[in-house]
Structure 1
Amino acid sequence: MAPTGGRTRHEHDAAGSRSAGIGDGSTLMRGLVVSETTGPDAVELRDGLPEPAGAHPWAEGERLLVDVRAAAVAFPDLLQSRGAYQHGTPAPYITGGEYAGVVLEAPKGSRFSAGDRVAGLSVWGSAAERVLAIPRYTVRIPDQMSWADGAAFFLNYATACFTLHRAGFADGESVLVHGAAGGVGTAALDLLRGRAKPVIAVVSSDDKAAVAEACGADVVLRTSEGWAEQAREATGHGVEIVIDPVGGGRFTDSLRTLDVGGRLMVVGFAEGSIPEVKVNRLLLRNLSVVGVALDPWEQRFPGYAPELVAGLEAAAVEGRVRPYIGHRLAMSEATDALGILDRREAQGKVVIEVAGG
């Protein structure tokens, strides 16, 4: 998911900028700081950081402060560390776009109260003992959900849910998932388990194939073995939906993989390059290429975010989500969290155990 926002999210005042970065509160804490935007090697574990002040710049003045028990990093965090993410914040700042923890302070009249167990998207700042949360991107989590699972929950599952919403997915349709051992990929497989017929995973190694199978893939294909043709053979006519958080050179083959009337969902560009499409390919087989970016959708259709949050909370309470965590790091070793992503070693989610770590 690539959130985008309006003026209030980008034209931060001085207080907002301090909240986005290191902060100026009186309580001291520990956190992972990106000291300069030169990449993962610039991450440092620091003590004595001030608690974040004010409200998150995306929270429209509503201060929601969370005591962090676990945090997680994803591809946008890696981009931010290089100053390449359009919604990042200036260095020095605390990395980590996702968290799970306990509410310490909540806005008056909000749906949250001190003591609530919550998880959510913070965009930055989560890899610390306290974080400013964004109320509309925060969910309650049940007692049976671990802190690590909570940290691995919101971004990937919200992205996967919104992708299926934008695709108009109906039970029984065939779905191919790229990057199927990554965070978004494993969440999509989990949500499609038993619903897509079949759900096809595309991966690049034996280890990643095992992850995709564990997350519910019916068919697992390799990027090195003619996956596009094999996917068409697996369905007999091509797949109805492709979910692509990878981009790059496989984009054109994804179009070839689709059945007539198929939909290619553009979720991100983890491969690094942004592909282009020749629109005659769309015309000749009635194909659709659909972008997936939650925040502008929520801005235009504000009723969707509460619907999404309610669905995620229900899924968590009912035990219908099983986040795949491939890497658990204590805070003392978490300076390498972004490096794991950068080296493409990540399987599922990279989680930092903040409390006790």
Structure 2
Amino acid sequence: MQAWRVHRNGEPGEVMRLDEVERPEPGPGQELLRVRAANVNFPDALLCRGHYQVRPPLPFTPGVEVCAETADGRRVIAAPALPHGGLAQYTVADSAALLPAPEALDDAEAAALHIGYQTGWFGLHRRAGLRRGETLLVHAAAGGVGSAAVQLGKAAGATVIGVVGGAGKAEAARELGCDVVVDRRTEDFAAAVREATGGRGADVVYDPVGGAAYTGSTKCIAFEGRIVVVGFAGGEIPAPALNHALVKNYSILGLHWGLYARKDPGSVAECHRQLTEYAAKGLIKPLISERVPLSGAASAVQRVADGATTGRLVVLPGADEGERR
């Protein structure tokens, strides 16, 4: 079979290589899966660079999220067991963690549902306690992680303000349902949020960017607001001034979704049930900006690493043989 593998750490476009390899052998409690679609995530870039919290032995295959088919024909969503990631024709995953792919979503959409939407749901509901009628500020609102939070925020009855970088992404954010869109390249987003909320500020901030996005958020957070720290795609990890949180009465909440999968797997299954219902009702639908064949995976991971994408890029291993689904 064909699989992209990383033989040394570095930029994805430089270190990923398409190899011919044997199918991976499932370990105890695992299943062999035929990959139908693999969603490209920012952690795939971090894995290539050797900067992710998990560092599989070299060589390894990136790809942390797939829609796949089991040996008995079930269509499932899975997080592959590294080092046998999803950017390949076959992967392996823990049997107990397999989730049924929603019928309302095609393969590419299903592949993009798991991590981003689970992260968004746990961040907005489990950590921040988002309530109907509150204002939600989403950074990188047209990106893969941000677009999921926008849709989940609207499904929860919140007013959603999306921050983006560029006119094209602003249009995508509007189509996703943002009530207010702010282009950080041309506007001071903190001032725009204060104006849009009549000076009150955002009740919940969803921040997968870090750096200046986090700093600006502290300037427009409401009384008893909650800032959910999701990641640092901007490359800078902020050092929050805790005295500022004290005098303004806001909370800083960390979110590591993977901990729920390990410490409370039942909550992950329940979240998936709710997401499946949302998908069936049309409340959520992953924004797929491009579907690429397996041969284009390295370029796709590099573009995600560079922050040059809108929505999700999904790799379809069967597309090279004309089997797009």
Asked whether the two chains share a fold, i.e. TM above 0.5, the reply is yes
Q: Do the aligned residues in 2 keep the contact of 1:96 with 1:123 (CA within 8 Å)? A: no
Q: Which sections of structure 2, spanning at least 5 residues, go unmatched?
A: 321-325
1:280 corresponds to 2:238:
no
Q: Percent identity?
A: 35
Cα distance in structure 2, aligned partners of 1:287 and 1:226:
21
Amino acid at match of 2:196: A
Give the 3-state SS of the residue equivalent to 1:131 in structure 2.
Answer: strand
Map 1:219-234 onto structure 2 (within 5 A). 219-224=180-185, 225-234=187-196
Map 1:184-203 onto structure 2 (within 5 A). 184-193=145-154, 195-203=156-164
Cα distance in structure 2, aligned partners of 1:196 and 1:144:
22
- Call closer, same or farther: CA 1:70–1:181 in 2, change over 3 Å: same
Cα distance in structure 2, aligned partners of 1:301 and 1:343:
33
Give the Å deviation of 1:181.
Answer: 1.2
| Residue of 122, 139, 147 corresponding to 1:162 | 122
Task: Decide which moves more: 254-263 or 136-145.
Answer: 136-145
Instruction: Report the equivalent of 2:24.
Output: 52
Instruction: Report the equivalent of 1:16.
Output: none
Q: Do the aligned residues in 1 keep the contact of 2:36 with 2:66 (CA within 8 Å)? A: yes
Give the Å deviation of 1:305.
Answer: 2.2
Amino acid at match of 1:327: E
1:122 corresponds to 2:95:
no
Give the Å deviation of 1:302.
Answer: 4.5
Cα distance in structure 1, aligned partners of 2:305 and 2:102:
32
Map 1:59-78 onto structure 2 (within 5 A). 61-78=28-45
Amino acid at match of 2:75: R
| Residue of 86, 89, 101 corresponding to 2:68 | 101
> What whole-Å deviation, never above 9, does each CA across 1:241-272 have from its counterpart, x for those lacking one?
00000001221210111110000000000011
Instruction: Report the equivalent of 2:10.
Output: 38
Give the Å deviation of 1:306.
Answer: 2.5
Amino acid at match of 1:30: Q
Q: CA RMSD in A?
A: 1.7
Instruction: Report the equivalent of 2:50.
Output: 83
Q: Do the aligned residues in 1 keep the contact of 2:16 with 2:298 (CA within 8 Å)? A: yes
Aligned pairs, number: 314
- Call closer, same or farther: CA 1:136–1:157 in 2, change over 3 Å: farther
Map 1:165-314 onto structure 2 (within 5 A). 165=125, 166-193=127-154, 195-224=156-185, 225-236=187-198, 237-314=200-277
Instruction: Report the equivalent of 1:149.
Output: 109
Amino acid at match of 1:283: L
- Call closer, same or farther: CA 1:212–1:137 in 2, change over 3 Å: farther
Amino acid at match of 2:80: S
Give the Å deviation of 1:137.
Answer: 4.3
Give the 3-state SS of the residue equivalent to 2:51 in structure 1.
Answer: coil
1:355 corresponds to 2:318:
yes
Give the Å deviation of 1:208.
Answer: 0.8
- Call closer, same or farther: CA 1:298–1:334 in 2, change over 3 Å: closer
**TM-score, normalising length from structure 2?**
0.91
Amino acid at match of 1:304: S
Amino acid at match of 2:91: V
- Call closer, same or farther: CA 1:54–1:193 in 2, change over 3 Å: same
Q: Do the aligned residues in 2 keep the contact of 1:137 with 1:309 (CA within 8 Å)? A: no
Amino acid at match of 2:10: T
- Call closer, same or farther: CA 1:316–1:117 in 2, change over 3 Å: farther
Instruction: Report the equivalent of 2:323.
Output: none
Q: Which sections of structure 1, spanning at least 5 residues, go unmatched?
A: 1-28, 56-60, 105-113
